[in-house]
Amino acid sequence: MQDSEITQAIQANVQAALTEDLGSGDLTAQLIPAERIAHATLIVREDAVLCGQPWFTACFNALDPKIQIDWYVAEGASFAVNTTLCAITGNARAILSAERPALNFLQTLSGTATITRRYVQAIAGTGAVIMDTRKTLPGLRWAQKYAVKIGGGENQRIGLFDGVLIKENHIAAAGGISAALATAQQQTTPGISIQIEVESLAELDQALAAGAQLILLDNFDLEQLRAAAQLTNKRAILEASGGISLANVRAIAECGVDRISIGGLTKHMQAIDFSLLIKT
């Protein structure tokens, strides 16, 4: 992902979130004198990894560019419960109106980064890498993939436009593994990855014979994964997917696969509990 693409995603996400929450105006914030300045601190209620500073800051600055945020913890850093993460100073109405959207981004992206970091640490030293999927929250594809990177994982294709993944239904519609791969190899622009999903060792053998270089092993058990690594013998990159948890991810990595993709990084993550408190 390029910095310019992340910047565009931040702008689009923040505009959508503020429009959704504010509508025609924040009725409750109007109870506060318009020129009042407030001072607030952000604390966390659990151990986690910080992710989402750019989205958080953009929410406040969209309503008041003069709001000042002083971060005490860096993006991507781990922190303990009750840590004070930043101090915020600026227009009270703007702080109160931006608070919820800003926290929504921070809790969601920190949740993704935190669970990703746990998976990355679980397989440390095996040589395998943790990968994300397209199973993201609607509208937050770029943001959650950014969070996976902050957590130490790697990104798959962003969408259907920048990579080929030939799955079971594509294979059936195309007339088989060999036919699907041959068509993909003929039609795909050089530099675009072509991956094919297989569901058995027999299908893996067919994919290898057809010249597959990137193969997704769908719901293989440990015995099948070890056999797949032995059969492939480094002729292709192998990626394990399906039924993966923190309890079994290291055993999967030790089977000899190169990559492990986990949809739960972005669809099953648990939001981190933050609290923004205005000083009185």
Q: What are phi and psi of 72, to 5 degrees?
A: -105, -15
Identical fold between 3-120+269-278 and 125-267: no
Q: Does domain 3-120+269-278 have CATH number 3.40.50.2300?
A: no
Separation CA 260–CA 239 (nearest Å): 5
Residue 280 predicted with pLDDT over 80: no
Residue 45's pLDDT band, with cuts at 50, 70 and 90, is: very high
Calculate mean pLDDT across residues 45-71. 98
Class of domain 125-267: alpha beta
Separation CA 160–CA 114 (nearest Å): 27
Residue 47 predicted with pLDDT over 80: yes
Apex 197 CA angle, 193 and 200, nearest 5 = 145
Overall residue count recorded for the chain in this entry: 280
Residue 15 predicted with pLDDT over 80: yes
The tens digit of pLDDT for each residue in 104-140 reads 999 999 999 999 999 999 999 999 999 999 999 999 9
Calculate mean pLDDT across residues 151-164. 96
Q: What are phi and psi of 164, to 5 degrees?
A: -105, 125
For strand 68-71 and strand 84-91, is the pairing parallel, antiparallel, or unpaired?
Answer: antiparallel
pTM for this model (two decimals): 0.95
Cα 31 to chain centroid, rounded: 38
What average pLDDT does the structure give for the chain?
97
Residue 2 predicted with pLDDT over 90: no
Label each residue of the chain as H, E or C: CCHHHHHHHHHHHHHHHHHHHHCCCCCCHHHCCCCCEEEEEEEECCCEECCCHHHHHHHHHHHCCCCEEEECCCCCCEECCCCEEEEEEEEHHHHHHHHHHHHHHHHHHHHHHHHHHHHHHHCCCCCCEEECCCCCCCCCHHHHHHHHHHCCCECCCCCCCCCEEECHHHHHHHCCHHHHHHHHHHHCCCCCCEEEEECCHHHHHHHHHCCCCEEEEECCCHHHHHHHHHHHCCCCEEEEECCCCCCCHHHHHCCCCCEEECCHHHHCCCCCCEEEEECC
Separation CA 123–CA 125 (nearest Å): 6
Calculate mean pLDDT across residues 223-236. 98
The residues that are catalytic are 100, 135, 167, 197, 218
Residue 1 predicted with pLDDT over 80: no
Cα 195 to chain centroid, rounded: 20
What pLDDT score does 3 carry?
87
Give the burial class of 173: count Cβ atoms within 10 A of its Cβ; 0-12 exposed, 13-18 middle, 19 or more buried: exposed
Separation CA 180–CA 66 (nearest Å): 56
Q: Give the domain ranges of the chain.
A: 3-120+269-278, 125-267
The tens digit of pLDDT for each residue in 237-254 reads 999 999 999 999 999 999
